[in-house]
Amino acid sequence: MSIDHSKAIETAHVLTEALPYIRRFAGKTMVIKYGGNAMDEGACSTSFARDVVLMRLVGMNPIVVHGGGPQIGKLLERLGKKSEFVQGMRVTDDETLDVVQMVLGGLVNKEIVSGLTQAGGRAVGISGKDSAMIRARKMILSGGLASAPEIIDIGHVGEVESIDPALVESLCATGFIPVVAPIGVDDSGQSYNINADLVAGKLASVLNAEKLILLTNTRGVLSKQGELLTGLKPPQVEALIADGTIHGGMLPKIRCALDAVNSGVRSSHIVDGRLEHSVLLELFTDEGIGTLIRG
């Protein structure tokens, strides 16, 4: 029986290409935002878990912040409640907040923890309410005309006021992978639903992380001709926003990525989470697969 050595040689090349990155990032903190859309892809959720566990095993400190918008929408629909959005934010009344906390703090969080555990990791699920880690304040939106602005109340939707990193730092120091549900609490004990991108970006800044990785359902930032753009500096990103290249749903993500690098995070990455092993391909290969924004 003849043996084809080409696959083994290719694997060896991949490992040697990864080695300098593994060495460079050992001991570094990586905050990964894992989106609800990427979770729906079965094979990708398995490869994501293996990627994160491998990061931990080679000495990095990965922290997962997850969303769950599609899962929240599905449960609300089963309960006969229609989802309503204003400026991209889910209107969150008392009943919707109960569903958000059940899905984010329970179902989705524990599914991710289970996946990481099955892949050989030691994961712990927490929410921003644990140890009052994420202090939140009510988000107020404005609309209407400039001459007559209107305040829009979207319920229990919050923004991050501050983050106490002690809990996640303690988990990382003892070999665990923290999995964070983006629910915050104010001084009175009121809970708030917070956008996971915002939580991930703020957490990366507070931890002075090496990287913020935003997994999404697009290839990254594209030129007007559809080519992937990467290796960008903040002034280049601002120019792409100004000329309309970056628009629509990509704007909040790119703003989050920019805020992170402007607050001390070494680099932000916007990566297609629908691709298998997308995190490893972005971190450990020379070319990467997504959009890299350098601080």
Question: Distance between CA 155 and CA 117 in Å, rounded?
Answer: 35
Question: Distance between CA 7 and CA 144 in Å, rounded?
Answer: 61
294 annotated as belonging to a binding site for a ligand: no
Q: What are phi and psi of 44, to 5 degrees?
A: -70, -35
3-state secondary structure of 130: helix
193 annotated as belonging to a binding site for a ligand: yes
Please choose, from the candidates 115, 111, 110, 8, the residue with its C-alpha nearest in 3D space to the C-alpha of residue 51. 115
Question: Distance between CA 4 and CA 2 in Å, rounded?
Answer: 7
69 annotated as belonging to a binding site for a ligand: yes
Question: Distance between CA 43 and CA 67 in Å, rounded?
Answer: 18
Please choose, from the candidates 285, 282, 288, 274, the residue with its C-alpha nearest in 3D space to the C-alpha of residue 43. 274
- Taken as a whole, the chain contains a residue count of 295
Task: For CA atoms 286, 292, 293, 295, give the dihedral sign.
Answer: negative
Q: Which residues pair with 151 in a beta bridge?
A: 142
Question: Distance between CA 201 and CA 182 in Å, rounded?
Answer: 11
For 267, the token pair is 């680099």
115 annotated as belonging to a binding site for a ligand: no
Beta strands in the chain (DSSP E): 29-34, 61-66, 85-86, 89-90, 123-127, 134-144, 149-163, 177-181, 183-185, 191-193, 211-216, 267-272, 291-294
Residue pair 203/165 in contact (Cβ under 8 Å)? The answer is: yes
Q: Which residues are annotated as a binding site for substrate?
A: 68-69, 90, 193
Q: Which residues are annotated as a binding site?
A: 68-69, 90, 193
